[in-house]
Amino acid sequence: MRATQLAVLGIGLALAGFGVYMAQSYVAQTQAAIAAARAQHESQPAIETREVMVATRALRYGEPISAETVRAVPWPAHALPPGVFHDIESLMPDPSRPRVALRAIEPMEPLMQVKVSAPGQPAGIAAQLSPGMRAFTIRVDAGSGISGALRPSNLVDIYWTGRGRDGEVTRLIGNGVRIIALDENADQDRDFTGVPRSVTIEGTPETVATLAQGQSTGRLSLSVVGLDDTSDLSIFEVDRRALLGVEPDVAPAAEQRCTVRTRRGNEVVLIEIPCTN
């Protein structure tokens, strides 16, 4: 009986020793892995960062930007978004004339020049215009070729339908024109339903002059351009004959007649003669 107890005790001590050994081996391997990872991390070059102003909470369209709603955070220098602000002085040069958000900005999202207005400028149509561009408002209705799916920032082609030299024609007069407001509202995050009464686009002064002439002499229609469509269409027009596949009338060539003049008394008479090439 005593021998059995000693045998069980011996087996228990052996198992305990083996467990301690395995635990020490695991701890040693873990410490070695941590040391290797730390050494590898320390051997890598440090990532260069720059401070970037971000929003501390969600900002709505048209909301003024204050010092309490932004803060500076380090950002990888090789991945800086274009047009970011690096300090509060560049973002708010004059605290009495704050910038406003031109679209919804999420928490910790960098503030960029395309998303905020100029200092002291409200969130209106003028704040959405690109340099050198002008705004023009087009009257639209249910027959203008659009639906309630439009949003500011969408691109559209603009067609003019009116009287041409040979009857009514439809002509492309604007390609890939950007919408900046619907019913004078430039909020890109607003859900628009139904057909707007007006669409405001941005274009060069020449494009605006063309649209103004087209709106006063005919009817303008809009066609939405796909998000990934970068094609540049050339100006073209379609009339009734082209639509129906009718060949244009060709007038028969006039028959050549050759004459000479001769005087008979007090009268001048034309006498027809054979034509020579």
What are the mean pLDDT values of the chain's consecutive 10-residue runs (277 residues total)? 67 71 79 78 75 93 90 92 92 89 91 89 80 89 72 88 83 89 78 79 91 90 83 75 64 62 66 63
Tell whether 77 and 110 lie within a shared domain: yes
Residue 10 lies in a domain: yes
Per-residue model confidence (pLDDT) at position 108: 94
Structural domain range at position 15: 1-31
Per-residue model confidence (pLDDT) at position 72: 94
Per-residue model confidence (pLDDT) at position 246: 62
Residue 224 lies in a domain: yes
Tell whether 180 and 234 lie within a shared domain: yes
Tell whether 78 and 172 lie within a shared domain: no
Q: Which token pair is 54?
A: 């971000």
CA torsion angle 19 23 24 25 (round to 10): 100
Residue 60 lies in a domain: yes
Cα distances from 140 to residues 134, 149, 222, 235, 275, in angstroms, run 19, 14, 9, 22, 62
Tell whether 70 and 8 lie within a shared domain: no
DSSP-based three-state secondary structure for 66: coil
Helices (H), 98-236: 205-217
Per-residue model confidence (pLDDT) at position 146: 74
Per-residue model confidence (pLDDT) at position 40: 72
Q: Which token pair is 70?
A: 């932004």
Report how far Cα 130 is from the mean position of its chain's Cα atoms.
Answer: 12
Residue 258 lies in a domain: no
Per-residue model confidence (pLDDT) at position 274: 66
Per-residue model confidence (pLDDT) at position 261: 67
Sign of CA dihedral 235, 241, 242, 247: negative
What's this model's pTM, rounded to 2 decimal places?
A: 0.59
Tell whether 137 and 234 lie within a shared domain: yes
Residue that has been written with the tokens 């139904």 in this structure: 194
- Using the 3D structure, point to which of 115, 143, 163 is the last residue of a domain: 115
Domain count, the chain: 3
CATH code for position 71: 3.90.1210.10
Residue that has been written with the tokens 């639209």 in this structure: 140
Tell whether 15 and 78 lie within a shared domain: no
Side-chain half-sphere exposure of 229, counting CA atoms within 13 A? 16
